[in-house]
Chains A and B, each alone.
Chain A
Amino acid sequence: MERVWKLPAIYLTILLALLLVTGCAAEQVVEEELPVVEEVVETGTLAFTANGEEFIREGFVCKDGWELSFDHAYVTLTSISAFQTDPPFETEMGWEFEDLVQVRIDLAGVHTVDLAAPDADPAVVGEAASVPVGRYNAIYWEMVRASDGPSEGFVVLLVGTAEKDGETINFSLGLDREVSYLGGEYVGDERKGILQAGGSADVEMTFHFDHLFGDFDEDPGDEINLEALGFGPLAALAVDGALEVSLSDLETKLAEGDYALLLAVMTHLAHVGEGHALAAFME
């Protein structure tokens, strides 16, 4: 062999040797058996909470200028379940989402909580210990009539005082139509439902009572006010500064349009934080 070809020949030999060595090494990696790893399910504590927000705890001025304060805001909840879904549940997916569910945690029992209590920020409805970690990105619950207690017969009972232009009305408003709700991941100024090993997280059922009464601080043409009943139509039914009324009573006492508004409010009263929830009357 001429010497001029020696160096390229050496380069080629080294290159082939390197290729052989790396090729064999790669093959060995593929042939290695993977170690058997036992799956360990990490757990934490999941709390189920309900929140009427500051509107109900501190009171507010509704769209028609009535200043509302609440002594009690009872809601009765049951069939509460939190889910981990893949992909994450969004309300656009509708009610049929069982195929997405990876983990389901149920809270047994019927629970009545007072959202107007000062410490209901939020109110703890119940807890589930030693549940799998992960992201609880969907929650289902039913709002049902209480079978006993202070709000017996009602799914929601609001007890409080309304004041406007020197007039005071002590009111008790009971809603008695049962509704089921399904919401997605919490939307708000903090993250909720993300459970890490050994930790705790909460999933929240949020109730927006400004949807019922409207908000004086918002524009009268704002959607929140256009779709709200306000307190004026209820005030008109008060006798001697007192109003004790149920949804069933209001069907005949309110104007047809106002009653329709009130029914519609029950379907967008509940949220998950600020995220809307699906709603359906149960009867």
Chain B
Amino acid sequence: MKKTKHRVVLLSMIILIGGLILLLSPVGVSAHGVDIAAVPVKAVEVIALYDSGQPMVGGQVAIYAPDEPLEPWLTGTCDEEGRFIFRPDYSRPGLWEIQVRLAGHGDLIRFEVTAAEEAVADGPGGLSLLQKIVMALVVAWGAVGTAFYFSRRNS
């Protein structure tokens, strides 16, 4: 009976510690090699055209974040179709500005990043489903193990 009690307590501790390690570790990290992930992200596509409809090939793009309007947050160049794709920093909500210029022609447009988009981009709380399940199991097993321990000691 005493051996069983110790096994239950030992098993509880192993599961508890293992669960904590799993909880605290980043998702998808491996010890060796290369870790490549392809994750769909919410990006902004700029399409720059002249009034005539011709693409602004090589248009100079400057992106300004809402909290730093004097310095470009990102610069780049439009492709052969006048396109430029970027992912804004969703942790900086507000009115972002996109300026495209080429050979004396240019324009400035704006788009809004909201706090809600920031929450979606970062995920709710950062815990995966597996981590949540393990966390629930650990808590449950800890309670059961503790109950076993005291009930056996009484008897």
Contacts and interface: CB of A to CB of B under 8 A. Distances in A.
A and B are partners in one complex rather than unrelated chains: yes
Interface of A: 2-4, 6-8, 87-88, 90, 135, 184-185, 187-189, 191, 194, 208, 210, 218, 223-224, 273-276
Given A187-B101, A187-B107, 15 more contacts: A3-B150, A3-B151, A3-B154, A4-B154, A6-B150, A7-B147, A8-B147, A135-B69, A185-B108, A187-B108, A191-B69, A191-B70, A194-B70, A223-B51, A274-B105
28 contacts: A2-B154, A3-B150, A4-B150, A4-B154, A7-B147, A8-B143, A8-B147, A87-B110, A90-B109, A187-B99, A187-B106, A188-B101, A188-B106, A189-B101, A191-B69, A191-B70, A194-B69, A194-B70, A208-B104, A210-B104, A224-B104, A273-B106, A274-B104, A274-B105, A274-B106, A275-B107, A275-B108, A276-B107
Contact of B108 (A7, A184, A210, A224): A184
Given A4-B147, A135-B69, A191-B70, A218 B103 contact: yes
A16 B109 CA distance: 53
| Interface size band for B | 20 to 34
A273 B109 CA distance: 15
Contacts of A224: 104
Contacts of A274: 101, 104-107
Contacts of B70: 191, 194
Contacts, number: 53
Nearest to B146: A7
A275 B107 CA distance: 5
A93 to B, nearest CB: 12
Interface of B: 50-52, 64, 69-70, 95, 99, 101, 103-110, 143, 146-147, 150-151, 153-154
Contacts of A184: 108
A87 B96 CA distance: 12
B150 A7 contact: yes
